[in-house]
Amino acid sequence: MSDAQGAVPPRLPHPPVFLPGLALFLDLDGVLAPLAPTPDAVGPDARRTAVLARLTQVLQGRAAVVSGRTLAEIDRISDGAARAASGVHGLERRRDDGALLRTTPSPAISQALQAFHAFAADRPGVLVEDKGLSAGLHFRQAPAEGVAATRLATDLAATTGLTLQPGSMVLELKTPGADKGTAVRAFMKEPPFLGAIPVMVGDDLTDEAGFEAVQGLGGFGVLVGPSRPTAARYQLPDVAAVLDWLEALAADAHKEAPDEA
* 109-174 to CATH, choices 3.40.1030.10, 3.30.70.1020, 3.30.1280.10, 3.30.559.10: 3.30.70.1020
Distance CA(139)–CA(210), nearest Å, equals 25
Least trusted range by pLDDT, from 3-12, 65-74, 224-233: 3-12
Identical fold, 22-103+178-256 and 109-174: no
Distance CA(108)–CA(118), nearest Å, equals 16
Domain boundaries, the chain: 22-103+178-256, 109-174
DSSP-derived secondary structure letter, 83: S
Which residues lie closer than 8 Å to 59 by C-beta, 6 or more apart? Answer: 22, 23, 24, 253
Q: Catalytic residue among 27, 29, 75, 179, which?
A: 27
Average pLDDT over residues 70-95: 97
Confidence of residue 135 (pLDDT cuts 50, 70, 90): very high
Return the SS3 of 33: strand
Residue type, 51: V
Looking only at the bridges linking them, the beta strands covering 197-202 and 220-224 are parallel
Distance CA(18)–CA(251), nearest Å, equals 10
Structure confidence at residue 68 (pLDDT): 94
Structure confidence at residue 256 (pLDDT): 59
- Give the residues across from 201 on adjacent strands: 26, 222
* 238 in catalytic set: no
Classify domain 22-103+178-256 at the CATH topology level.
Rossmann fold (3.40.50)
**Does residue 78 carry a pLDDT above 90?**
yes
